[in-house]
């Protein structure tokens, strides 16, 4: 690779107690925490909106912060951000969580979708109110080191290059960009072929109006559709290695063009009333109805959870019992009912509302447990 030497004088713009590189939720948490302790804080963000993956990345979903019994167990800034994300926009909380933590035991979880765009605006106000200085469109270029201590960073922007000094620098870029440039040992990771967007359809809008739920208006088109564990990654396609400019562009452009192709296939041409159309081809295919898949042990545990049956400590003994009593047998990875098991099942269905009674009993035990804890 050819190279040349270039020298320039860069203006020293300002000095801060803390500089945070990256305006995703982790960077926002770091900046907010420092500002609330009276520090002079600068947050650098290369995009023109805050929130990172939670907003521009369209990962606008909160996994449950509760214990599955109606109590928050993850609090602090995570809970603060959750409440802020739905303060001005929509949410998809279950009824028991609509007004915050319920005052009674519940199996419903505290997960919710939210508006990424509105959340980004609310995050900006949160930081400004705390006294954090924010610089959009600021690409961190080079950390300036003095031995093992970072004295500040050079940033690139529309106004050219600037140096910002600091006592402490936080790398919240998401891929350790600043740490790597500063000489800290890092390891290149790999990425699956996955990419999705967000759109609104007229059909979705109709459903949203009917159900009075704006979330139903949205849909998510995909480029690559691999999941977190690599499922649906194209067979034989190499993983994306590292975060070089070449790899990032290859990843984005391949996914975006594939998404366009998929969306084009969904678009019907404009037709006039009574217009004749030409049949291009007729494809015939034969399909057979398949019976529901048998339970695996994991699927059975999930069903017990969904129906409020038992506790995590009882799931394994339950499965062991039905196997030992001959109600089911293990066939490869699935549980197959025996004749005895089917007879017992029919008797239970005929004689009792098993799921209703059993889950009801669990809720009563929850109430007793909570009252006991209060007395203690």
The per-residue pLDDT for range 215-257, each reduced to its tens digit, is: 889 988 999 999 888 888 999 999 999 989 999 999 999 999 9
Which of 79-83, 263-267, 317-321, 362-366 is most confident?
Answer: 79-83
Name the band, by pLDDT with cuts 50, 70 and 90, for residue 276.
Answer: confident
pLDDT at 362: 54
Does pLDDT of 270 surpass 80?
Answer: no
Same domain for 155 and 62 = yes
The answer to whether residues 120 and 49 touch, using CB atoms and an 8 Å cutoff, is yes
Same domain for 168 and 203 = no
**214 domain residue, yes or no:** yes
The per-residue pLDDT for range 174-190, each reduced to its tens digit, is: 999 999 999 999 999 99
Same domain for 137 and 19 = yes
Range of the domain at 141: 12-181
Dist CA 96 CA 69 (whole Å): 11
Same domain for 165 and 114 = yes
**123 domain residue, yes or no:** yes
The per-residue pLDDT for range 204-215, each reduced to its tens digit, is: 999 999 998 888
Q: What dihedral do alpha carbons 27, 93, 374, 360 form, nearest 10°?
A: -140
pLDDT at 311: 67
Cβ–Cβ contacts within 10 Å for residue 92, how many?
Answer: 16
Same domain for 110 and 24 = yes
The answer to whether residues 21 and 154 touch, using CB atoms and an 8 Å cutoff, is no
**277 domain residue, yes or no:** no
Same domain for 108 and 27 = yes
Check residue 6 and give left, alpha or beta (phi > 0: left; psi -120 to 50: alpha). Answer: beta
Same domain for 252 and 210 = yes
| CATH assignment at residue 354 | 1.10.460.10
**Please, what is the average pLDDT of the chain?**
88
**275 domain residue, yes or no:** no
The per-residue pLDDT for range 127-140, each reduced to its tens digit, is: 999 999 999 999 99
Same domain for 321 and 212 = no
Least confident stretch, 6-20, 91-105, 281-295:
281-295
Q: Of 125, 127, 62, 49, which is closest to residue 97 (Cα–Cα)?
A: 62
**7 domain residue, yes or no:** no
| CATH assignment at residue 166 | 3.50.50.60
Verdict on whether the full-model pTM lies above 0.85: no
What is the SS3 string spanning the chain? CCCCCCCCCCCEEEEEEEEEECCEHHHHHHHHHHHCCCCCEEEECCCCCCEHHHCCCCCCEECCCECCCCCECCCHHHHHHHHHHCCCCCECCCHHHCCCCCCCCCCCCCCEEECHHHHHHHHHHHHHHHCCEEECCCEEEEEEEECCEEEEEEEEECCEEEEEEEEEEEECCCCCHHHHHCCCCCCCCEECCEEECCEECHHHHHHHHHHCCHHHHEECCEEEECCCCCCCCCCCCCCEECCCHHHHHHHHHHHHHHHHHHHHHHCCCCCCCCCCCCCCCCCCCCCCCCCCCCCEHHHHHHHHHHCCCCCHHHHHHHHHHHHHCCCEEEECCEEEECHHHHHHHHHHHHHCCHHHHHHHHHHHHHHHHHHHHHHC
Give backbone dihedrals phi and psi of 143, rounded to 5 degrees, phi first: -80, 135
CA distances from 51 to 55, 74, 198 (A): 5, 20, 16
Can you give the C-alpha Rg of the chain in angstroms?
28
Does pLDDT of 359 surpass 70?
Answer: no
Same domain for 209 and 63 = no
List the beta bridge partners of residue 146: 149
pLDDT at 374: 45
Same domain for 236 and 175 = no
Cβ–Cβ contacts within 10 Å for residue 113, how many?
Answer: 17
Number of domains in the chain: 3
Dist CA 104 CA 71 (whole Å): 9
List the beta bridge partners of residue 194: 225
For the segment 11-31, the average pLDDT, to the nearest whole number, is: 97
For the segment 158-177, the average pLDDT, to the nearest whole number, is: 95
pLDDT at 375: 40
The answer to whether residues 134 and 43 touch, using CB atoms and an 8 Å cutoff, is yes
pLDDT at 124: 98
């Amino acid at each position: 690779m050819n190279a040349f030497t270039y020298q320039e004088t860069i203006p020293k713009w300002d000095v801060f107690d803390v500089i945070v590189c990256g305006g995703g939720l982790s960077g926002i948490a770091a900046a907010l925490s420092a500002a609330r302790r009276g520090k002079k804080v600068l947050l650098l963000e290369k995009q023109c909106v805050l929130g990172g993956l939670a907003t521009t990345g369209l990962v606008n979903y909160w996994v449950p912060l509760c214990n599955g019994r109606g109590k928050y167990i993850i609090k602090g800034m995570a809970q603060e951000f959750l409440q802020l994300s739905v303060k001005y926009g929509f949410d998809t909380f279950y009824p028991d969580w609509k007004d915050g933590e319920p005052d009674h035991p519940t199996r419903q979880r505290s997960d919710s979708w939210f508006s990424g765009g509105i959340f980004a605006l609310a995050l900006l106000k949160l930081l400004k109110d705390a006294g954090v200085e924010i610089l959009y469109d600021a690409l961190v270029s080079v950390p300036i080191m003095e031995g093992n201590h970072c004295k500040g960073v050079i940033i690139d922007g529309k106004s050219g290059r600037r140096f910002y000094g600091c006592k402490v620098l936080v790398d919240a870029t998401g891929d350790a960009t600043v740490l790597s440039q500063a000489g800290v040992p890092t390891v290149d990771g790999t990425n699956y072929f996955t990419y999705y967007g967000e759109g609104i359809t007229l059909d979705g809008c109709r459903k949203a109006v009917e159900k009075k739920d704006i979330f139903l208006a949205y849909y998510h088109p995909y480029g690559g559709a691999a999941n977190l564990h690599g499922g649906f990654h194209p067979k034989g396609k190499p993983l994306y290695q590292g975060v070089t400019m070449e790899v990032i562009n290859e990843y984005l452009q391949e996914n975006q063009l594939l998404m366009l192709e998929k969306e084009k296939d969904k678009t019907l041409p404009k037709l006039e009333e009574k217009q004749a159309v030409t049949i291009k081809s007729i494809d015939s295919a034969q399909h057979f109805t398949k019976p529901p898949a048998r339970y695996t042990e994991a699927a059975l545990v999930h069903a017990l959870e969904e129906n409020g049956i038992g506790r995590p400590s009882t799931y394994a003994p339950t499965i062991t019992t039905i196997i030992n009593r001959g109600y089911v047998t293990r066939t490869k990875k699935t549980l197959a009912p025996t004749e005895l098991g089917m007879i017992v099942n029919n008797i239970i269905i005929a004689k009792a509302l098993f799921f209703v009674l059993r889950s009801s009993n669990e809720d009563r035990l929850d109430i007793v447990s909570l009252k006991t804890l209060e007395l203690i």
